[in-house]
Structure 1
Amino acid sequence: MLDTTTKYISFSVPALMAMWLRYLFQAVATTVVVLPTRGLALLRTAHPRFQFLRGVLLLATSLFAFYSVKYMPVGEFTALVMITPLVITLLAARVLRERVSPLRWLLVAGGFAGTLVIVRPGGQAFGWTLLLPLGLVTSNAWFQVLTSRLVRTEDPVTMHFYTGWVGTLLASLALPFVWTPLASWSLWGWLALMGLLGTVGHFLLILAYMRAPAATLTPFLYVQIGFAMLCGWLVFSHVPDQWSVTGIAMIVVCGAAGAWLTRLEGHAPDPINIRPVES
C-alpha cells in the first residue's frame, strides 16, 4: 500500500517535498510515542556519525524508491528491490570477508538470473529507469550492512528515532527549493496516508524483529511482491507479462530459500540475515 500510494502521488508532488512530510510524520510520531517512556535515554548513542550516515542512506533509498515507482510498475519494482538480500550476500563475502556456502552462491545466481528475466531488452521494465531500483538496491544494501553492525550495540528504537529526524532535517534543507502549491487538498490527505503507512509499517517491523529472528520473518516478506502486483492491477490496471512473472518467481524462490537456509544453518544475526527494505 505504501508503494502504491507513493506511485499515485509521485505524478503531482515533488520527491523531496513528499519525503519531507513522510519523514516528518515518522519522526514526530516516534518522538510522541517513545520519548515519554524512554526519556533522554532515547537519545543516547555511541555512534552518532553512523546514526547520521544511516539516516542519509535511508533517505537516498527512499528517493530512489519514489522515482522508481513513478516510472516503473509496482510489482516489477518490488521484485527488483527484493534482490537486496542477494546483494548483501555479495557484500558480506567480498567486503566483510564472511564465508558464503556454495548453495548460497547458487541462490544468488538464481536471483540475479530472475532479475535479468524481468529487465530483459524489450520487456515491460527495460529502459534507463532500471538505474533507479539498482541505485535503491545499492544504497539499501549498505544501509542494511550498517544496521546489522549498529544493532549489536544500539537500541533499535533509538536507531528508528534518529533515522526519522535525519531524513526530516535533510529534506527540510531542500524544501524551500522544491516547495510547490498542491492542486487540491486531497493530495495532502494522500501525503498524510503515505506518512502513516510508512510509520506504522516501521513500528510493526520493530515489533516483529523483537519477537522473531530475521531468518524466520524474511520468507513472509516476499508476499509483498504479490500484494504489489495486486495493487498495481487494481489501481493502475497493470499486469506483468509471463516473462516478468517468471523472473519474479525466480527471485521469490531464491530469496526465500536463502532465508530458510540461514535459519537451517542457525546463523546469528549478520549482514546476510538482514532486515527488510525500508522506503
Structure 2
Amino acid sequence: MNATATAQRPLLGVMLILLMAMCFSTLDTTAKYVGQTLPVLLVLWARYSVQALIMAAWLGVRALRGGGNLFATAHPRFQVLRGALLLLTSALLFFGIQYMPVAEFTAVGMLTPVLVTLLAATLLHERVSAFRALLVVGGFAGALIVVRPGSGLFGWVALFPLAMALVYATFQLLTRRLSGVEHPLTTHFYTGFVGTLIVSSILLLSSVDAGPLLAAAPASTWALLLLAGCAGTAGHLCLIVALGVAPMPVLMPFTYVQIAFASFTGWLAFGHVPDGWAFVGMAVVAACGGVSVWLNLRERAPARDVEAAAPVAD
C-alpha cells in the first residue's frame, strides 16, 4: 500500500475507526469487569495470548493456501517497539480502569487524538488545516466537559489515563509509519506475539499463580477473557487498516465516539450512567465528528478525477 492509495479512501477509514471504538470499549469494560475477580496481570496475559493465537492460525492457514509467508518482517525492531508500546498502553489502561468509571477514563484518554494530530503535523509533515484542528480541539473540549476537572475524578489515578494517552500517541505514530511498509497482518501478529512474550515473562517472575486461578475460574470468566482478546484483536486490526487508507488528521476526530460507546458498555456492565454535563460533552464530540464527515465529503469531490487516475498498489 503506497502513499497515493493512503489518501484515496477516507470514508472507509472513518468506518473502521468507528468499529475500532466499539471493540475497544468492549475490551475496556470487559477488562474492568474480569479484573474484579482475577489479577489484572492475568487478564492482560489472556488478552495478548488470544491475539497471538488468532493471528498465528490466520497467517499459518494463509501460507498453506499459497498466500505467502507473512510471519517474516523487514522491520523487526519497529515491530518489537510497537508491540512493547501497545502492551504498556494496555497495562496502564487495565490497571487504571479499575479505579475509574469506563466512560470517564476513556474521556481523559481522549488526549491521545490531540497529541497524535499535533505530532503527525510535526513529525510526519501531514497538513492539518485550521478548521480540522478546530474540530479536534472541539472534540477535546467535549471530553473535558464529560470529566470536568475538579469534579473529584482527577486524583492520583488520573496519571493512568494521562500516561496512557502519551504512550498511545507514540504507538499510533509508529503504526502510521509501518502501515505502508509492512502487511497489516504481519504487524498485527507481532503485536500479539511481542505482548504475549513480555507478559508471560513478567507472570513467571510474579507471585501470581496463573494455573490454579484459571483452573478455578468459571466458564463465564473464560468467555469474558476470550471476548477481551477477540475485541482487542479486531480493534487494532481496524486501526492498522484505517491508518493505511486515510490520513491521520481525518481519522482522529472520530476516535472521540469511543466515549459514547464506553458510556453504553459501562452502563450495561456496572449500571453507571454519566450525568447531564457528561451528555453535553458527548454531544459536542458528536457535533465535531459530524462536521468532519461533511468536510471530508466536500474535500473529496474536487479530487475525484485525480484520485481515479492514481495507481493503486496491492
Shorter-chain TM range is 0.7 to 0.9
Spell out the pairing of 1:32-111 with structure 2 (5 A cutoff).
32-38=57-63, 41-111=69-139
Matched residues in 2 for 1:143 and 1:211: separation?
15
Using the TM superposition, give the Cα deviation of residue 193 of structure 1 relative to its aligned residue in structure 2, in angstroms: 2.9
Q: 2:233 aligns with which of 199, 203, 207?
A: 199
Q: 2:190 aligns with which of 149, 156, 162?
A: 162
Q: Which residue of 2 aligns with 1:249?
A: 283
Matched residues in 2 for 1:8 and 1:82: separation?
22
Gaps of 5+ in 1: 268-279
User: Retained in 1: the 8 A contact 2:113–2:253?
Assistant: no
User: Retained in 1: the 8 A contact 2:87–2:195?
Assistant: yes
Using the TM superposition, give the Cα deviation of residue 259 of structure 1 relative to its aligned residue in structure 2, in angstroms: 6.1
Using the TM superposition, give the Cα deviation of residue 33 of structure 1 relative to its aligned residue in structure 2, in angstroms: 1.9
Using the TM superposition, give the Cα deviation of residue 89 of structure 1 relative to its aligned residue in structure 2, in angstroms: 1.0
Q: Does 1:19 align with 2:48?
A: no
Q: Which residue of 2 aligns with 1:182?
A: 213
The worse-fitting range, judged by mean Cα deviation, of 66-75 and 112-121 is 112-121
Decide which structure has the larger Cα Rg and report it.
2
Residues 45-83 of structure 1: per-residue CA shift (max 9 Å, x gap)? 221100110001110111122123211111222333344
User: Retained in 2: the 8 A contact 1:73–1:125?
Assistant: no
Q: Which residue of 2 aligns with 1:229?
A: 263
Matched residues in 1 for 2:252 and 2:124: separation?
22
Matched residues in 2 for 1:68 and 1:87: separation?
20
The worse-fitting range, judged by mean Cα deviation, of 252-261 and 138-147 is 252-261
The worse-fitting range, judged by mean Cα deviation, of 219-228 and 20-29 is 219-228
1:54 and 1:207, CA in 2 relative to 1: closer, same or farther beyond 3 A?
A: closer
The worse-fitting range, judged by mean Cα deviation, of 27-36 and 98-107 is 98-107
**1:169 aligns to what SS in structure 2?**
helix
1:95 and 1:219, CA in 2 relative to 1: closer, same or farther beyond 3 A?
A: closer
Q: Which residue of 2 aligns with 1:116?
A: 144
The worse-fitting range, judged by mean Cα deviation, of 245-254 and 226-235 is 245-254
TM-score for both structures, normalised by structure 1: 0.81
**2:57 aligns to what SS in structure 1?**
helix
User: Retained in 1: the 8 A contact 2:136–2:253?
Assistant: no
1:23 and 1:167, CA in 2 relative to 1: closer, same or farther beyond 3 A?
A: same
Matched residues in 2 for 1:256 and 1:171: separation?
39
Gaps of 5+ in 2: 1-25, 304-314
**2:148 aligns to what SS in structure 1?**
coil
